[in-house]
Structures are given as C-alpha cells and as structure tokens.
Chain A
Amino acid sequence: MSEIGKLTLFLAFLCSCYGVVSIAVGLRSGMAGPLRSGRRAVWVVCALTLLATVLLVRVLVKRDFSFRYVAEHTSLDLPAHYAVSSLWAGQEGSLLLWLLILSAYGAAFLWCYRKRVDPFYDAVAMVVSAVMVFFTSLLAFVCSPFRVLATPPADGNGLNPLLQDPGMMIHPPILYIGYVGFIIPFAFGMAVLLMNRTGTRWIEEVRRWTLFNWMFLGFGILLGGRWAYVELGWGGYWGWDPVENASLMPWLVGTAFLHSVMIEQRRGMLKTWNVALIVLTFELSIFGTFLTRSGVLTSVHSFAESNIGPWFLGFILISSTIATALILYRKALLESENRLDAVVSREGSFLFNNVLFVALTFATFLGTTFPVVSEAVTGAKISVSAPFFNRVNVPIALVLLLLTGIGPVLSWKRATASVLQRNFVIPTIVGVLATLVSIPFGVQGIYPIVCVFGSAFVTAAVVMEFARGIKARKDVEPPSPAALLHLVQKNKRRYGGYIVHLGVVLIFVGVLGSSVFQKEEHAPLQKGQSLAIGPYNLTLLGVQERQVANAMQTRAEIHVERDGKRLPLMYPAKAMYFKGEQPMTEVALLQTPAEDLYVILGGVNEDGSASIQSYINPLVSLVWLGGVVMVLGTIVCLGDRMRLKREEKLLT
C-alpha cells in the first residue's frame, strides 16, 4: 500500500511537470496536440491525487500503524469519524488535502471552459499545473504521507484533543476551498500577462472565481471562530492568533479586489492595481500555510508545525518575483483610461475603501510578523497580540464600516449635491437616533458609539436602496415581499452585495455586544453553592467522573435559573484524553438569540470545590448569523452567473 501511495504521488508530480511543459510547447508552437495533452495531464493529476487521498483515508480508518502518519495522528480508541478528519491533522495529510483541492480546482476550471477554444485558457491551466508541481514535489520527495515505520507501534499517538470536535471536521476543508481557490484568479492574472491579453472579459470571470473562494474562506474563518468559541474555552471567538490573522489577510485583500474590480469593469481603470491584488491574495494564502507550518510564531495551531516552512517561503519568493516581473514587463498592457468625472463618486469611495482594506492587511501583517522582526533587530522577545490589534485594527475597521454605508449610496461617475442629500439624510438621521437610543443602554466611548452609528447608517442606506428599487418597479409590480424577491432576482449582483453588507453589519453589532457588554463571574463552588451572573443563578449540583469514548471526563452538573425560572441543566467539563497531555475544556453553552450563557469548569480544587467560570456574551449569535447572511448574499451574487450565461448563449 505504501509503495502504491508513493508511486501515485510521484506520478502526480511527473504529470504536473508534463502538463506545464506540454502546454508551454503548445502555446509556443500553436499546435493543438500538446495543448490537449497538457489539459489531460491536469485531469490525471486530479485523479491520482484523489487515489492517494482515498488510500491514506483507508489506512487511517484501518489504523494501520505501520504508516508513520497514521501512528502519529490516530489511535485505536479514536472514533472513526475523527480518524477520517485526521487526514488534515498533520502536515503531510493537510498538504495532500491542499493538493486534492488544488487539482480539483484545475479540473473544475477545465470543465467550466471545455467549450472555449482559446489558448488563453490553456495558459491558465499551465499556471495551475506549475503550482501543482510545487505541491506534488513536496508530497513526493519531502514529506510523503506514505512513509512507513520499521517497527509499527501497537497503538498510535492519537489525534490532538483540540481537533476532536465536530467543527474541525468541516472547518479546515472549507477554509482550504477558499485558500486554495485563489489559485484560479492568480492563474488568470498570470495568463493575461503571459499571453499579452487585452479586453475585460477575463476580469468578469476572475470576479466570479474570487467571489466563490472569498465566500468559502470567509465561511471557513467563521467556522474557525465558532470552533475557538466552543473548544478553547476562553469566552471569545477571535484572539488575533497568527494563524487566524493569516486566514484574514487574503480575505481582506480579496474583499478589496471584489470592490476595485467593479471600477475596472465599468471604467477600464485600476488594471495594474487589480492584478496586484490578485497576486497578493494568492501569495497571502500561501503565506498562511507557511505560518501554520513553519512554527516561526506561537499559535493555537502550533500542532501543525513542521520543517517545510522554508519551502513555502521559497515558493512565495519565487512566485511573487515572477508575478512582479510580469506586471512590470506588461506595464503597457495594464494601462488604464484613468479618467474620472468627480472625486465624490462611488469610484472615489471604492478607492478609499481599497486603501483601508490594504492598510488593515498591512497592519495585520506587520503585527503578526513583528515579533520575529523585533527579535532579529533588538534581540529581545516581544509579543504582539490582541491588545495591539484591538487598538490598531479596530479603528480602521470602523472607518471601513462607515464606508460600507457611504459607497453604495454614492452614484457612479458623480454624486451631485442633490443625490448626496437624498441618499445621506435619512441614514444619517437613523444613525444619530440609534446612537442616542443606545447611550442609555450603556454604549459608551467613541468606539462603541461609532460602531452603533455606522451599523445603523449602513442598515438604513441598504434598506433605502431596496425601497428605492421596489418604488422604481411599482409600475411593473406593486410593493410586496414578492416584489422584493423579484427585485433581487433582477439584479442579483447589486442586491446580493447589499445583503453581504447587512451581514457585515450583523457581525459588527455582534462583536460590539459580545465584547463591550460581556459579563464575567467566577468562583469556587462547593456542592449546593450558587454563583450569580446577570439575571442567571448557577447552582452546583455535583461533580462526577466518567469515561467518554477516549477520554476521562470530570463533569460539573449545574442547575441554572434565570429570573427565578428554571433552565436546562448545564454540564461544563474537563476532559483528560488518554492520548493527551493537557486537560481539555468542554464548554457548556446556553444559547439564545439575545445572549449566550457560557460556563466552563476551571478544575476541581483540593477542598473539593469546583472552579466555575461563567460569561454572558450578549448578541454573539449575530456574529454567526451575520456570517450566514454574508454567505447567502454571496450566493445571490454568484447567481448572476446564470443570467450572464443565458445572455452569452443568446449572443452566440
């Protein structure tokens, strides 16, 4: 089995190389044969990678400890579903998953454009193949998941307890679909430069691919936040951990691109900037893997550390150098019309929004990497964590929130004074009213106030846009929920974008509520003693020891009342996994739309008391809801593709 796995990956490497060479020959000579053959090589790599993945999953499920990867990441007592998810628990497996998704993207790309006879698409496939060469070479020669042990152990080391969570079964694949998918926009960008291709058709295609990847990356980040919330047990969901930051950076640059690409589509401007954003998004997605794998920074993802960091760094350096050189070489191709009617216009606001997204990325990048830089320069170790990011990133994000409301209500080309008055007065009044109403409820300080104002402003602006659209169609259809639906159907791209903005607002409000209004109480409780937090009263009924699957659990049983009304029992616990070294926190959660009661068991003290830590996290549900709304909005935007396809068909 090991030899078959190794051979499969080696063949995948050969096919990737062949794909690059064959397509390059085809493009140079203009012969169709090598191009066709090179495209087929991409399909073969996909099939071989799928085979390798199936083989690895098989030995993981069988717990064949003769394989080093299986022995390191599974054990006999590990539930079967976690044996499958241990595919992405370690370096080799997650690289294989990366390659599988990468090759699947290559195959999906070829399938989508199978009817287009244009060497441009072959050039895109060549770039995808070139990236596959890097990943297949790593898997075939540097860190094969099919390495065997001379003396197989009787049992494996087990899966990291942190990863034994249902969220971890979907968070990494979803995140990877987003991360890896940025290869397609990158390949498009490179192909445009390589082929000296003019025109704007490709930019619409890139927008759609980017939107798809952006949605998955965003959803993956959200799932990661949810995992941190229920698994790490510190009462929060975003800790500005280096690896969290690494996933946020490509998402931010991707967001900037999705805005600025609209200017290129409408005005033929910002061509160089857009290609640069595509390249940066891709490089940052690779940088994320580098951070996870290199171990240069302390992170909650340190379980994934390995020695392949330098390979990734080398790849980033080479690919970014090639991309930059190509951009400079094809400077003339990317020349824009660079003409604008007015500064105060949607184009103008998008330019400032791009500055802020890139500034936010820069701040995140600087803060994430600064400990390494500072130590190299000063010799002293420092930390750059949440206290830094909260001071630097949050204000930039708040200005972005305000722009989220301002941008869409500005007209394209030129916003006249009457347009500004018409579009801004009501949102501003709503924003001010919301702020005034929120102050008696405890919203204090500029940061929360700006957040409340901005959220209300954006919401009002978006609602007004929908109302205006319905009003404009009232001759066709009287105002009704159905009219709203039809309005969205008529222009999915525009209204999908507004739905995404509403999701952003929900997240901001959720973050505001759960951070500024969070309540926390902790106390050691003896059996029968109570702890009051807000309207809740928690009474310890007892502490039991019990065995669950592959861990010994110490579980507190807590009776909960809210304003005298009995609520379901809560069971915060500490689990000591048989294969783990540290006890893991099992959070007890009582979730309502308004707030979460979040209870953890700190431990059992020598006097028999249980350390109970409790939080009330108001509005945290809005963070998750906002994420879902953003995904829905993006799906609506992607639905625009069908209309475009129909139009294309009609034209041809």
Chain B
Amino acid sequence: MTRSGFPLLVPVLALTLALAAAAIGTAWAVESAAGRKDPAKAITSQLICPCSCGEILSGCVCETGKTMQGFVSDELKAGKNGEQITASLVSKYGEVILGAPKAEGFNLIVWVAPFLATLVGFVIAAFVLRRWVRRRSDLALAGAGSMPGAGGTGGVTVPGTRQAAAEQDLAAYRARAEEELRRLEE
C-alpha cells in the first residue's frame, strides 16, 4: 500500500488488463465484423495489393487489385475457405502479400515488442511514482525531525511529538500548496 491509501498495483493492473482486453477485443471485433459482412472482404482486408501501389486489397481500385478481388470471390465460390485462399496467394506472391506478418520467428518481435514496451513502461512509471511519493514523505519527516521543538530535543527524539509535528508541517505545506495551485488555476 502507498501512503495515499491506494494499492499501487491496482492502476497498473487495471491499465494492463484493459490493454490486453482491448487488444483481444480489437482483433476479434475487426475480424468478426468483416467476416459477418462479407467473407471476401474479410480476406482481402488482410491482404496487400501485389502491384506496387501498396494498398490494402479490399480498398484497392487499381486494375491488379480488382483482378485479385475477383480471384478471391471466385475461389470462395469454388468452395475454398479463407485460409486456403490466403495460403495459395502467399505461395504465389510471398509473405509480402499479407497485411500483417505472421507472428512467428523473427517477425514475432513486431507483435510482442509494443505490448511488452507498454507493460515495461507501466511498471517503470509505477516504480518511479512510488519512489517519488516515498521521497516526499521521507523528506517531510526528516524536515520535521530537524525542527527545534518538533522532535529534535537535543539528540533525543520523542516519537509522538515528532509525528505530530510532521503532520502539522505537512498540513501547513498542503495548505500553502493548495493556495498556490488555486491561484495558478484561476
């Protein structure tokens, strides 16, 4: 628990879970929505036009793109499924035709690194925040301890007095800071 009374892990975990849930949801929603609408589009929206235009096949308006869109529709009518059609296109044109690389081998990096980086970023941010909060309270207590009559009684500290003085100091500090912030925000 931090001094603020909130477990530090809660925001980190909440954000991470939200990110993971949204990631799964996105993939599911995009694919299922496309699939429900039009099976041909579900396939072509994951492919790149093999000409040099570099556009997503489903929205490509060049001649090659239109031919390829027709090919996918014909293959579906012939009874092939999406995986078979994609595999046949990959064998013909190479993996460059896939809009996103397969999550395997070296290319796994591109899928994992962004989420890993986000997670590491969250963890670092959480630790940094916790350190800053601790430093704040340590400094306040140290400041209170060094004040004459506020716990620093000739080298002998009286815990109760010191804590009370520290709290008094903190309250004064907070009031001052609140006043400054209020003025800033006005």
Contacts and interface: CB of A to CB of B under 8 A. Distances in A.
A532 interface: no
A183 to B, nearest CB: 28
B130 A343 contact: yes
Interface string A393-404: 111101100100
Contacts of A394: 22, 26
Nearest to A519: B37
Interface in A324-358: 338-345, 348, 351-352, 354-356, 358
Contacts of A341: 4, 133, 136, 174
A562 interface: no
A520 B58 CA distance: 11
A380 B29 contact: no
Contacts of B45: 386-387
A338 B135 contact: yes
A348 B29 contact: no
B186 A490 contact: yes
B23 A387 contact: no
A289 B180 CA distance: 44
A359 B117 CA distance: 7
Given A339-B135, A343-B130, A359-B117, A387 B99 contact: yes
Contact of B25 (A239, A298, A367, A395): A395
Interface string B46-74: 10100011111001111000100000000
Interface stretch (A1-9, A209-217, A230-238, A499-507): A230-238
A491 B128 contact: no
Contacts of A391: 23, 26-27, 30, 100
A267 to B, nearest CB: 9
Contacts of A298: 52, 54
Nearest to B46: A387
Contacts of B132: 269, 338-340
B25 A446 contact: yes
A212 B38 CA distance: 44
B26 A374 contact: no
A340 B129 contact: yes
Interface string A178-221: 00000000000000000000000000000000000000000000
Interface in B12-55: 15, 18-30, 32-33, 37-38, 41, 45-46, 48, 52-55
Interface stretch (A112-120, A125-133, A410-418, A538-546): A410-418
B25 A520 contact: no
Nearest to A375: B96
A76 interface: no
B59 A236 contact: yes
B169 interface: no
A interface bracket (residues with beta carbon within 8 Å of B): 35 or more
B18 A385 contact: no
Interface string B121-136: 1101110111111011
Contacts of A345: 4
A388 B19 contact: no
A393 B106 CA distance: 20
Given A355-B122, A394-B22, A402-B18, A343 B6 contact: yes
Given A355-B118, A366-B114, A520-B37, A374 B101 contact: yes
Interface string A222-261: 0000000000111110010100000000000000000000
Interface centre among A359, A367, A602, by most B CB within 10 Å? A359
Contact of A600 (B5, B30, B61, B95): B61
A395 B2 contact: no
Contacts of B52: 298, 302
B6 A344 contact: yes
Contacts of A611: 66
Interface in A266-294: 266, 269
A384 interface: yes
A450 interface: yes
Contacts of B118: 355-356, 359, 396
B144 interface: no
A429 to B, nearest CB: 19
Contact of A395 (B4, B23, B32, B128): B23
B105 A378 contact: yes
B99 to A, nearest CB: 4
Contacts of A299: 54
B33 A366 contact: no
A567 B54 CA distance: 36
Given A381-B95, A390-B30, A395 B113 contact: no
A449 B37 CA distance: 19
A521 B8 CA distance: 51
Nearest to B97: A383
B55 A239 contact: yes
A370 interface: yes
Interface string A515-557: 0100110000000000000000000000000000000000000
A257 to B, nearest CB: 16
A382 B95 contact: yes
A40 interface: no
B11 A388 contact: no
A235 B99 contact: no
Contacts of B128: 351
B94 interface: yes
A57 interface: no
Nearest to B180: A266
B114 A355 contact: no
A601 to B, nearest CB: 9
Contacts of A519: 37
B139 interface: yes
A266 to B, nearest CB: 7
B18 A399 contact: yes
A480 interface: no
Contact of B133 (A342, A358, A516): A342
Contact of A494 (B4, B59, B122, B185): B185
B100 A343 contact: no
A414 B114 contact: no
Nearest to A341: B136
A582 interface: yes
B32 to A, nearest CB: 7
14 contacts: A234-B55, A338-B132, A343-B2, A343-B6, A374-B106, A383-B97, A383-B100, A385-B56, A396-B114, A413-B181, A445-B32, A447-B29, A449-B25, A490-B186
Q: Which 7 A-B pairs have the closest CB atoms?
A: A446-B25, A445-B29, A234-B59, A342-B4, A395-B22, A363-B114, A387-B99
Given A356-B118, A370-B109, 13 more contacts: A339-B132, A339-B139, A343-B6, A359-B121, A381-B94, A382-B101, A390-B26, A395-B26, A398-B26, A446-B22, A446-B28, A602-B66, A611-B66
Interface of A: 232-236, 239, 241, 266, 269, 298-300, 302, 338-345, 348, 351-352, 354-356, 358-359, 362-363, 366-367, 370, 374, 377-378, 380-388, 390-396, 398-399, 402, 412-415, 417, 444-450, 490-491, 494, 516, 519-520, 582, 585, 600, 602-603, 611, 613
